[in-house]
Amino acid sequence: MYTLYGRKGAGSVSVQFLLEEAGVSYKMVWVEDVKAPEFLQVNPNGKVPALQLPGGQIMYESAAMMAFLAEALPAAGMTPKIGTAEHALMLQWLVLLSAGTYESILRYFYSERYGEAVSVKSRASEEIDRLYGVMETELAQKGPYLCGKQISAADVYLTMLASWYEPDMTALGKKFPRILAIYNTVAARPAWKTVQAANAN
């Protein structure tokens, strides 16, 4: 059984979705304090999510979990065939979403951690829109999904990040309609609704 450590509404959402989508047994552990000694034994970086694999190995970094689970759980249908150009794109987008978009979102919402808050937040917002603009252009040329015709873990990860867009999803759709279309497709899946309900309680 997998054990997923997360916080409600946080970066564990996309990982939880893949576990639900694949229909595997997993335990959800909600972490109240990421700096608590007992959690630091799970992830010494003091961040969620963390994923314990059935054999006991602990994984950090949500994008790595997404890539691993998409391949380890083929029942989810969330990865192109390994070795194909589409699979390469999935890995590319997962890394860009994690290192670029996710990091910019953190700077937007927690700007005080990075320096002068107003300036950091403004630059972060610009970077989020720039990266989404890159994706929107790629989707126009190769879509409807980030890897082409097949939905993948990258689209789920994008959906989670897009759900945090400020000021709201209406604004996202006006600027980036193809990203909103991916969001709507993923959000319509039963697994997404199950995960959202679990994160709302």
Segments making up each domain of the chain, as ranges? 2-77+190-200, 85-187
Tell me the pLDDT band of 115, cut-offs 50, 70 and 90.
confident
* Cα–Cα distance for residue pair 93/88, rounded to 1 Å: 9
> What are the structure tokens assigned to 75, written together?
């029942």
**Span 128-182, pLDDT tens digits:** 999 999 999 999 999 999 999 999 999 999 999 999 999 999 999 999 999 999 9
* Cα–Cα distance for residue pair 13/7, rounded to 1 Å: 8
* Cα–Cα distance for residue pair 173/180, rounded to 1 Å: 5
* Cα–Cα distance for residue pair 116/105, rounded to 1 Å: 16
Q: Report the CATH superfamily, name and number, of domain 2-77+190-200.
A: Glutaredoxin (3.40.30.10)
Tell me the pLDDT band of 114, cut-offs 50, 70 and 90.
confident
* Cα–Cα distance for residue pair 80/101, rounded to 1 Å: 22
The pLDDT, as a whole number, for residue 123 is 95
- Percent of the chain residues topping a pLDDT of 70: 100
Q: Give the orientation angle of helix 153-162 with respect to helix 85-96, to 10 degrees.
A: 20
What is the rounded average pLDDT of the residues 62-83? Answer: 97
* Cα–Cα distance for residue pair 51/42, rounded to 1 Å: 9
Using the predicted structure, report yes or no on whether residue 38 has a pLDDT greater than 90.
yes
The pLDDT, as a whole number, for residue 116 is 83
What is the rounded average pLDDT of the residues 111-131? Answer: 92
The pLDDT, as a whole number, for residue 26 is 98
**First-to-final CA distance of the chain:** 23
* pTM to 2 decimal places: 0.95
> What are the structure tokens assigned to 170, written together?
């209406």
The pLDDT, as a whole number, for residue 150 is 96
* Cα–Cα distance for residue pair 189/195, rounded to 1 Å: 10
The pLDDT, as a whole number, for residue 85 is 97
The Cα-based distances of 33 to 51, 109, 110, 124, 126 in angstroms read 16, 19, 17, 26, 31
**Whether 78 contacts 153, CB under 8 Å:** yes
Average pLDDT, the chain: 96
**Span 12-26, pLDDT tens digits:** 999 999 999 999 999
* Cα–Cα distance for residue pair 27/51, rounded to 1 Å: 10
* Cα–Cα distance for residue pair 194/201, rounded to 1 Å: 11
- For the segment(s) 85-187, the CATH number from 1.20.1600.10, 1.20.1050.10, 3.90.730.10, 3.30.70.20 is 1.20.1050.10
> Residue 148 forms beta bridges with which residues?
145
> What are the structure tokens assigned to 121, written together?
């937040």
**Span 74-113, pLDDT tens digits:** 999 999 999 999 999 999 999 999 999 999 999 999 999 8
